[in-house]
Structure 1
Amino acid sequence: MFCKHDLERLLTVDAAPAVSIFLPTHIAGRDIRQDVIRLRNLLTKAQDQLCEKHGLRRPDAEAFLKPASDLLEQNEFWRHMDRGLAIFLAKGVSAIHRVPVELPEEVVVNSRFTLRPLLPLLADDGAFMILAVTAGRARLFCATRHGIAEEDAGLPQGVAEIHAETNYENNLHSAPPARHADRTDRGGVSMVKTHNFGEDPEELRKAHLIEYLGRVADRVRGHLKPFRGPLVLVADEEIQGHLRKDAHLQGMLEDGVVTNPDALEIDDLHRRSYAVVRPMFESTRRTAVERFNALYGDRNMAERTTTRAEDVMVAAREGRVGVLLVAEKDKVWGHFREDYHRAFPLHHETDGAIDLVEEAATETLLRGGEVHVVTKAELPSGASTAAILRF
């Protein structure tokens, strides 16, 4: 999961050169081998740029890229891929993110990291989470409309863990011979309440299920602290009821997918979960576009809007952009002059140039504004970005 706190951390890196590598990847199959070759080729390009543009010696460039080149020999790493891979390298910094969006095949070596390809994950109608729970296991996924990736959230893996801990606790209080015969070494004892073996089996089952779901909720709550998007719960009716009543998970939508998630293929899990968030995402995006158009078309309110990328970028740096619309793939190259506090657009990319659209988007996100990735047709003619200003 690539979230706003990852964006903030990467943007604070001030150690040129900074290498950003993006590539599309395959989840399974023989095409995984092509992903390894693709990364190898991108690393060759990165090494050439480090040497030619930034003056590194070849051995130093190889050492700089080592965290990424090490991945080429890690077969296990490539068995757990998603639709895209993003790698960020700088002095003292190595960040590797599998993401559920298809990324362009690109390497950028500059004075700071490039984050534009990841904007669909950070937009207000971009990413959502899926919590799939059965009595046998719990899984957490990060998803977009494009794809889905399982998170390494360390969730409890079923009520069986609670059963085993309860039996262990009961054995501790039984006679020594019985304890010796049945004891299993689990490396510790949980906080599960001890139950008598004569207790009603159905009550015991419910107590274990509730304890298990409470632990799942605690882990999910901790894992999602930096995430501000919606959460879709996929579970049967009983588990839905317990989690909705007791868990109070941040962002959990009232509507979920009421079914056994283990009976769904991963594509079906994604499709049915996205169907829950899609109306909300589309409504949020449509409302933002309609609001901009209403202000833009009103002579008395038009000054609350701007579509010039250089003006949008400066306004974003000043914290004045409340809502930002950006065309999905457009780039506007330019320079920012601190002494003039102005941005100047360029006709094409040059050394030291920045993408004014990316700069505006990241600054808006960091200052609590909304960012929506839209089609070119939804923006005024010729514009790559459009903003509603707070003041």
Structure 2
Amino acid sequence: MSVVNRETIEKLINETQDVNVTIFIPTHKKGEEGKQDSIRLKNIIQKAKNELVEKGWKENKVDKLFKPVYTKTEENQFWLHQDKGLAIYANEEYFDLFKIPVSPKENYYISDNFLITPLLELQNHHNDYHVLVLSQNETKMFKVAPDETTQVIFESVPTSMEEHLKYHVHEPSMQHHSGASGGGSVFHGQGGEMDENNKELELFLKHIENKVTKYLKNVNGPLVLAGPDKMVSYYKKANKYFNVLDSFITGNYDNKSIKEIENESWEIVKSYFREEILSDIERFNDLKGSELISTDVSDIVKGAYFGKVDTLFVPMGFHQYGIFDTEKNQVEISDKLNGEAVDLINHAAISAIKNGSTLYGLPQSEVPNNSGLAAIYRYKS
């Protein structure tokens, strides 16, 4: 099981044989519906098996093809740890599967290529980013990657106000004690004491900021802040890192789960990772009336094959079947998969990847002109 990115998709393309089977099913992370996922998979595998037999495959050959699928999916606990979907790729020489964070339409595809277009959307999700959870009880930072979230451990710096105060000299009037819940420090006093408390909080956050900025300068990427408004405000005042996002998650995050932090931070950071997509959509719109753009599937299939496509916008869940004769450079559109027909959208995407194009998997409503496929050309002749 691998992380899905451009390299993953390129590997799938390179692993193709004469006959390749792709299976997508929606899955459930938990609950009664999750118990039906294994049955759903067996049913769709049976449909794929039947089609292979109709194509002339012997049953023992078909069983051998799907044996790695059964071996993997029948492991203990397999169905207890799912995401929103499952993608399976198999041929006589290769097998892999991916638990994916999007819910695909249940489908199988048998062709001379794997069906890679549903994976293109996953490239848009994000690169690595960090979330700094500010708290007087325990300040923590997490690295959020597409495959997992891990905590970044800071050394030689107090991560709570209680620890911080052990190493600093305070005015005699300042008092604090450990809170009843969470073990953090609770300050009391008014006027000057309150000002002193704020100064200590600012100093605590400055020390944290120094460590965070030193770390992030080596890894780059956006930083999302989470915590009470006051702490976020003080942190931003001290901040020297260039890529702290303006929006932040407000509130007490002491008891939030990692999954909650992932989900809430993604709502803030997703627009950051979509900037490149939006820029290329704007570029497409600026080229309207020019020969350097197209929404004609046949034209794009040919252009992608011959390396003319610079950027390809692929609509998720949309299929256009047909035959592409590369020798005659002709495309014949079909209503369904039959005979030599393939998914032309998938064919164009594979060609574009092989030729180094930029690809975006998008909801159809976000594809330029709300079209079945859209492209910006490198050149047009």
Same fold (TM over 0.5): yes
Amino acid aligned to 2:358: G
Equivalent position amino acid for 1:86 in 2: A
Match in the other structure for 1:265: 257
Map residues 339-354 of structure 1 onto 2, 5 A cutoff: 339-354=327-342
What is aligned with 2:121?
A: 120
Query: CA–CA distance in 1 between the matches of 2:358 and 2:20?
Result: 26
Asked if 1:375 is matched to 2:364, the reply is yes
How many residues in Structure 1 have an aligned counterpart in Structure 2?
Answer: 304
Structure 1 residue 83, shift from structure 2 partner: 0.8
Residue equivalent to 1:246: 215
The letter of the residue matching 1:29 is G
Cα deviation for residue 106 of structure 1 reads 1.1
User: Structure 2, unaligned stretches of length 5 or more?
Assistant: 157-165, 168-204, 224-242
Counterpart code for 1:328? M
TM-score, normalised with respect to structure 2? 0.68
**Is 2:372 the counterpart of 1:384?**
yes
What is the match of residue 59 of structure 1? 60
Task: Name the SS of the counterpart of 2:95 in structure 1.
Answer: strand
* 2:244 alignment partner in structure 1: 255
Give secondary structure in 2 for the equivalent of 1:323: strand
Q: CA deviation at 1:241?
A: 4.7
Q: Is the 8 A contact 2:22 2:87 kept in 1?
A: yes
Could you tell me how far apart the structure 1 residues matched to 2:130 and 2:99 are?
A: 18
322, 325, 328: which one pairs with 1:334?
A: 322
Identify the residue that residue 362 of structure 1 maps to in structure 2: 350
Amino acid at match of 1:6: T
1:357 and 1:385 in contact (8 A); partners too? yes
Give the Å deviation of 1:9.
0.8
Shift, 1:50, TM fit = 1.9
Q: 1:15 aligns with which of 5, 14, 17?
A: 17
Taking the aligned partners of 1:356 and 1:79, their CA distance within structure 2 comes to: 36
* Number of the residue aligned with 1:292: 284
Change over 3 Å in CA distance of 1:130–1:371 after alignment to 2: same
Structure 1 Cα separation of the partners of residues 63 and 276 of structure 2:
45
Where do residues 227-238 of structure 1 align in structure 2 (5 Å cutoff)?
none
Q: How far apart are 1:90 and its partner, in Å? A: 0.9
Give the 3-state SS of the residue equivalent to 2:265 in structure 1: helix
Equivalent residue number for residue 307 of structure 2: 319
Give, in whole Å, the separation in 2 of the partners of 1:18 and 1:157: 41
**1:273 Cα deviation after fit:** 1.8
| 1:351 alignment partner, SS class | coil
Label 1:137 to 1:346 Cα distance change in 2 as closer, same or farther (>3 A). Answer: same
- 2:72 and 2:378 map into 1 onto residues whose CA distance is 45
Q: Is the partner of 1:114 in helix, strand or coil?
A: coil
Q: Cα–Cα, structure 1 residues 239 and 258, in superposed 2: closer, same or farther, change >3 Å? A: farther
Structure 1 342/262 Cα, relative in aligned 2: closer, same or farther at 3 Å?
farther
Structure 1 pair 101–303 and aligned structure 2 pair: CA distance change class (3 A): same
Q: CA RMSD in A?
A: 3.4
The structure with the largest alpha-carbon Rg is: 2
Q: Deviation string for 1:39-89 (max 9, x for gaps)?
A: 111121122122112x22222211210111123422312222111111111
Q: 2:105 — aligned with what?
A: 104
When residues 358 and 242 of structure 1 are mapped into structure 2, their CA distance, relative to the original with a 3 A threshold, is farther
Name the residue aligned to 2:75: 74
TM-score, normalised with respect to structure 1: 0.67
Q: 8 Å contact 1:325–1:387 — kept in the other structure?
A: yes
